[in-house]
């Protein structure tokens, strides 16, 4: 017999996958049935609310239906847990990649590569941001927009960060690489931006270790990313140099969180 909490989690994960498939233009996954095993509030109530909204949507025209489902998916993910809500508030607008995978190797670089290649899912079923997951560029470049080095080359491309510096690195990923009108350092909601970043990193606990490809960390484990801003940050690139569909990736900033159970991968891309 599946415990109630596990049944709730399974239903939430299945519903997330179904909504994402609908957004991607697929309709192959079954809808989760809100059975009696679901708790009457919390997860069970959320599943029923989403299903009622979904069943009330017209499938035609298809583009309007897709937009409605995308909005429902965003709202569902925000309501599911505070971590999801913080991800969407902080990093949903710029060109970013956010994903967490399980820690399975002593050398965590292999786990990070598994995340970049989309070979694993979030162990908790929480949100990922990955606009390129269905990009057909991945037929030739499986990790697109990444073209990561081998695991053996990671030590030459990454530097350790103190936890407070990791918060700053994550916060400036909310900026744009070009023509950013409001860098975090001058925003009236600067403290709220930093608070969202802390929520994201709190997931990994007080013993998490952090790494970045930013060259400022080569000589300082606590560079001030907020003061420098995204445009003032230089790094060892992890992205492809391929020119795909008129898009040229020219800069990137990455942050990796490592624990005994998980690896979190946060990346910002500059493109034109």
Task: Locate all alpha helices (DSSP H) within 24-152, ordered by sequence.
Answer: 43-55, 62-80, 82-91, 109-116
pLDDT tens per residue across span 88-97: 999 999 999 9
List Cα–Cα distances, 126 to 119, 145, 193, in angstroms: 16, 22, 20
Q: What is the pLDDT of residues 107-128, one digit of tens each?
A: 999 999 999 999 999 999 898 9
Write the burial class of residue 156 (CB in 10 Å: 0-12 exposed, 13-18 middle, 19+ buried): exposed
β-bridge partners, 146: 239
pLDDT band at 217 (very low <50, low <70, confident <90, very high): very high
Question: pTM (2 decimals)?
Answer: 0.83
At 159, phi and psi to the nearest 5? Answer: -135, 145
What lies within 8 Å, CB to CB, of 5 at 6+ separation is none
| Calpha distance 73→31 (Å, rounded) | 14
Q: What confidence score (pLDDT) does residue 242 get? A: 87
Tell me which residue of 109, 125, 130, 208 sits closest to 167, measured CA to CA: 208
- pLDDT exceeds cutoff 80 at 161: yes
DSSP state of 46: H
CA 240, CA 220: separation in Å to the nearest integer?
27
Q: How far apart are CA 95 and CA 93, in angstroms?
A: 7
Exposed/middle/buried for residue 15 (C-beta within 10 Å: 0-12, 13-18, 19+): buried
**What pLDDT sits at residue 28?**
53
Q: How much is the mean pLDDT over the chain? A: 88
DSSP 15: H
Give the mean pLDDT of 169-197: 94
Above 80 in pLDDT, residue 9? Answer: no
CA-CA distances (angstroms) from residue 229 to 14, 98, 172, 180, 185? 38, 19, 6, 9, 7
């Amino acid at each position: 017999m599946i415990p109630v909490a596990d049944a709730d989690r399974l239903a939430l994960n299945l519903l997330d996958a179904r909504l994402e498939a609908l957004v991607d233009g697929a309709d192959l996954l079954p809808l989760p049935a809100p059975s009696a095993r679901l708790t009457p509030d919390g997860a069970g109530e959320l599943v029923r609310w989403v299903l009622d909204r979904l069943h009330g949507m017209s499938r035609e025209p298809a583009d309007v239906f897709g937009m409605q489902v995308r909005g429902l998916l965003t709202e569902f993910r925000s309501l599911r847990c505070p971590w999801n809500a913080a991800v969407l508030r902080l990093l949903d607008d710029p060109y970013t990649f956010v994903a967490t995978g399980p820690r399975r190797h002593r050398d965590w670089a292999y786990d990070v590569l598994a995340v970049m290649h989309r070979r694993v899912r979030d162990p908790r079923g929480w949100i990922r941001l990955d606009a390129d997951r269905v990009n057909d560029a991945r037929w030739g470049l499986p990790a697109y927009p990444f073209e990561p080095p081998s695991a053996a080359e990671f030590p030459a491309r990454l530097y350790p960060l103190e936890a407070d510096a990791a918060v700053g690195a994550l916060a400036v990923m909310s900026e744009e690489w070009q023509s950013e009108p409001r860098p975090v350092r001058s925003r009236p909601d600067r403290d709220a931006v930093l608070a969202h970043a802390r929520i994201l990193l709190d997931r990994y606990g007080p013993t998490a270790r952090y790494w970045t490809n930013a060259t400022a960390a080569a000589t300082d484990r606590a560079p001030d990313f907020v003061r420098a801003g995204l445009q003032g940050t230089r790094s060892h690139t992890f992205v492809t140099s391929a020119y795909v569909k008129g898009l040229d990736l020219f800069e990137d900033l990455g942050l990796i969180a490592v624990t005994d159970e998980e690896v979190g991968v946060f990346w910002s891309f500059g493109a034109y």
